[in-house]
Structure 1
């Protein structure tokens, strides 16, 4: 059996959109590794359901004033930050590019890309001051391939990878690493919504679209939020001390980015 990953005592982790889904799985995995947890989310009900031992705050990850205030609080209570998981995101609209509403495109980019940028912007000075840190940005296999009917999401997630590579180059001399995780089809409510919208756009059944996602991977499988969370813990750990500037897929190896059956 593989030994669980452990983190240095007192390791401090911030996870945006950390109260549910992939973010909640990340928080639980980091807690299991011995880290101190801070979750930010716009869902107050989900925040209230988090363990009392976690620091929690209601924060819109794409609102600079709220993000700035959150980091001030982190500095006051923790005095620093060891790992940032910039995980906030939305699926965005599903439509052909000629039918794509501009407002929907902008909102998707705002949350997925601007949210990651703001988290990195305010984490960087804190990590520079201590001469260490790890940033883990949540991208997607949509940041590695083009997907039909997903223009805003793909554009945002490609942007996240470009942001991550710039952060790795800019912050590396200060002892700070930056990487991106690219999940594939992750079990959960968000992907079920994507499947339903994609099925409607393509005139397929949800079951056929879902099967197509699995068939498009060499391992013929969807992944779980826990699979993604374990990668985040690894990237934050001393075991990954020289891993930086990488976009790492956790997807069962996507062969065909256009799900078909």
Structure 2
């Protein structure tokens, strides 16, 4: 699958889902710049994929975001696709035990960071004559998620933000869609499972099995599943898709 246009920025692109997105977008012919807060992962990416420009940036820091998009203009000459992937899990605690600091940090990365990223990227997409914005929400942006109030609230916000972008930016030829992954294989979900098992006082194996049962297919999803959909939305096949919240979750029915 090829892209409509190649210049692509991926936030949190040095590890996890973002790293798989790098591989899928490279296969589709993209020229890529990524940011990440993990300097070790950025160094590994530079070694493995020297054609990808990596920038150390925290999306919740306005100065970092300004510097990131300055680099995008310098290295890519503009932007066609913006993949707002950065996010954190936040605490796994009963709401009365969530600190204001943890609440604000989760919101700062998951929604403030997305706003800062999009605000900086839209002028470049308009200059390009249009483009694609893909944001990362979650099944927790569709279903209530007990013990994860900061995360779920932020991911519901991402969906509303993205659908509003689609309405606002459509006349400029800019499409905006949100991906809602289910339970994604990897280190982050293992940390969440461990924290939630501890909060509920149950074995981790029992909590892991419960997570698998959330989906009708009784399976977690792969980062590759998510990356492939992001490429699709930036390809000619996705040229008329905008304003959608697309679930990639094996048919999750509940997170409770």
Tell me the TM-score normalized by structure 2. Answer: 0.97
How far, CA to CA, are the matches of 1:7 and 1:169 in structure 2? 23
Runs of 4+ in 1 over 4 A off after TM superposition: none
How far, CA to CA, are the matches of 1:178 and 1:193 in structure 2? 30
2:221 is paired with a residue whose SS is: coil
How far has the Cα of 1:256 moved from its partner?
2.1
**CA deviation profile, 1:151-185 (whole Å, cap 9, x unmatched):** 00001111111110111011100000000001111
Query: In the alignment, which residue of structure 1 is the partner of 2:7?
Result: 12
Query: In the alignment, which residue of structure 1 is the partner of 2:105?
Result: 107
Is 1:142 paired with 2:137?
A: no
How far has the Cα of 1:193 moved from its partner?
0.3
How far has the Cα of 1:72 moved from its partner?
1.3
Is 1:38 paired with 2:19?
A: no
Query: In the alignment, which residue of structure 1 is the partner of 2:125?
Result: 127
Query: In the alignment, which residue of structure 2 is the partner of 1:55?
Result: 53
In structure 1, stretches of 5+ residues that fail to align are none
How far, CA to CA, are the matches of 1:163 and 1:156 in structure 2? 10
1:137 is paired with a residue whose SS is: strand
1:217 is paired with a residue whose SS is: coil
Matches within 5 A, 1:142-181: 142-181=140-179
How far has the Cα of 1:130 moved from its partner?
1.9
Query: In the alignment, which residue of structure 2 is the partner of 1:76?
Result: 74
1:26 is paired with a residue whose SS is: helix
How far, CA to CA, are the matches of 2:216 and 2:227 in structure 1? 21
> Is the 2:143–2:254 Cα contact (8 Å) retained in structure 1?
no
How far, CA to CA, are the matches of 1:222 and 1:100 in structure 2? 27
2:20 is paired with a residue whose SS is: helix
2:195 is paired with a residue whose SS is: helix
How far, CA to CA, are the matches of 2:211 and 2:232 in structure 1? 26
How far has the Cα of 1:79 moved from its partner?
1.8
> Is the 2:180–2:246 Cα contact (8 Å) retained in structure 1?
yes
How far has the Cα of 1:44 moved from its partner?
0.9
**CA deviation profile, 1:79-116 (whole Å, cap 9, x unmatched):** 21111110111100111111111100110010011111
How far, CA to CA, are the matches of 1:76 and 1:227 in structure 2? 31
How many residues end up aligned between the 2 structures?
253
